[in-house]
Amino acid sequence: MTDLRKVDINLIVILDAILTEKNLTRAGELVGMTQPSVSGALARLRQQFDDPLLVRSGRNFELTPKAQELAPLVSEAMGEIERVYDLSPTFDPATSSRTFLISASDYLLSQLTGPLLRLLDERAPGVTIEFDALPADTNVSPNDLLRRDVIISGTGRGVPGKRQSLFSDQFVCIVDGANERLRDGTLALTDLAEMQHVRSFFGHAVQTHVDDMFSAAGITPRIAMSVQGFLPVPHTVSGTQFVGHVPERLATQSAATLGLVVATTDLNAGTLVEAAHWHPSKNSDPAIQWLVKMLRDASEVVEFGDEPL
C-alpha cells in the first residue's frame, strides 16, 4: 500500500498535465511552471512509477503503455482533488460557479433535466450541471457516490449513502396497437409468458423492478432483445409483436407518436420511486444540500406539472 503521507500532490497535478499535453513545454504552461521544472518533476515521476511515461517518437512524444493506463485514473483523481478543495462552509447559489456531477437513468434525465435547468437558470445562473449515466454492470458502490455529487436511482436497489425521495411512477405494459395478442386492450398472463420481451438492461448484476414483477408472477419472460435503459423500449416495441414494460409517464409520452397501446394485465405493477443519493461525507456540504433541494423542487414540476412555490 502506498503511504499517502509521502505523496506530493503537486506531482499529481504535473503528471496530469504531462499525460494530457504529451509535451513538457505545454505541460509547464498549463500548470505555470518552466520546462526545466517540469522535466525535473518527470524524472521523479519516472522513478516513482519505474517507467519512462513519455518517450520520443520522431519529432513528437508518445505515452508509454503504463502512462496510457494511468491517464484516466489521474484525470479522475484530479476531479476528486478539485471537489475536496471546492467544499466551503457557506454556499451562495446566486454567485457560485460550481459544477455538479449527477448520474441518473435515461428516463430520469428525460423527465427532470428540463425543470431542473429552468430552476437553475432562475436561481443560480453561474452553476453548471454535468450529467452522466448510472454506473454500468454493477450495483452502485460507496466509491461511485464519492466520484459524483449525486446519484439518482430507484429506491430498493441497494444504493448506499444518504437519500431523498424525488418522485414516483408505475411500470406499465406497452405493445404495438396492431399486436395480434391484444384483446380489448388487455393481455393475459399466458400471453406475457409466451410473448417476446424487450428488456431494459442496467448491468449484469442489477435486478430491475420489472424483473421483480415477473418473478412475483412466476413468469420467466422470453427476452427477444435487451436495450440500455428505458427510452429505447417504446421505439423497439413499435411496429413489432414484442412487448415491453416502462414507467407510465414514458409510455404516455410515446404512445400516440409510436402507435402504442398501454395494455391492461394481471401483473402486479411495480412502483418506481426515484431518489437522490449522496455520500455521507458530503452531508455537511451546504452546496449538496442546496442541490438536493433543487432536485426536489424540479421533481414537484414532474409530479404535479406546476412551478414550485
Burial of 43 from C-beta contacts in 10 A (0-12 / 13-18 / 19+): exposed
172 with 271, same domain: the answer is yes
Residue 82: pLDDT over 70: no
Residue 2: pLDDT over 60: no
Return the top range by mean pLDDT from 5-9, 151-155, 189-193, 209-213: 189-193
pLDDT attached to residue 309: 44
CA 22 to chain centre: 30
Q: What is the value of pTM for the model shown?
A: 0.69
31 with 138, same domain: the answer is no
Contact 208, 198 (CB under 8 A): no
Confidence band, pLDDT 50/70/90 cuts, at residue 135 = confident
pLDDT attached to residue 96: 92
What's the mean per-residue pLDDT of the chain? Answer: 87
Higher-pLDDT residue of 229, 160: 229
> Across the strands, what pairs with 175?
243, 261
Residue 190: pLDDT over 90: yes
Higher-pLDDT residue of 75, 129: 129
pLDDT attached to residue 88: 55
pLDDT attached to residue 12: 83
Q: Which residue has the cell 411495480?
A: 270
Residue 96 in any domain: the answer is: no
242-287 per-position pLDDT tens digit: 999 999 999 999 999 999 999 999 999 889 999 999 888 788 889 9
Confidence band, pLDDT 50/70/90 cuts, at residue 147 = confident
**Where among 86, 119, 152 does a domain terminate?**
86
Confidence band, pLDDT 50/70/90 cuts, at residue 158 = low
58 with 105, same domain: the answer is no
Confidence band, pLDDT 50/70/90 cuts, at residue 157 = low
- Average pLDDT for 18-40: 85
Type of residue at 171: F
**Where among 54, 86, 118 does a domain terminate?**
86
49 with 128, same domain: the answer is no
Cα gap 245→309, rounded to integer Å: 34
For 22, the grid coordinates are: 504529451
Contact 100, 127 (CB under 8 A): yes
CATH number at 307 reads 3.40.190.290
pLDDT attached to residue 256: 92
DSSP symbols for 35-98: HHHHHHHHHHHHHHHTS--EEEETTEEEE-HHHHHHHHHHHHHHHHHHHHHH--S---TTT---
Question: Which range, of 24-33, 99-108, 159-168, averages the lowest pLDDT?
Answer: 24-33
Cα gap 155→135, rounded to integer Å: 15
212 with 278, same domain: the answer is yes
Cα gap 89→119, rounded to integer Å: 23
- Provide the sign of the torsion angle of the four alpha carbons 183, 187, 190, 196, taken in this order: positive
128 with 49, same domain: the answer is no
User: What total number of domains does the chain contain?
Assistant: 2
pLDDT attached to residue 136: 67
What is the residue range of 207's domain? 101-309
pLDDT attached to residue 152: 93
Residue 227 in any domain: the answer is: yes
Cα gap 291→293, rounded to integer Å: 5
Residue 270 in any domain: the answer is: yes
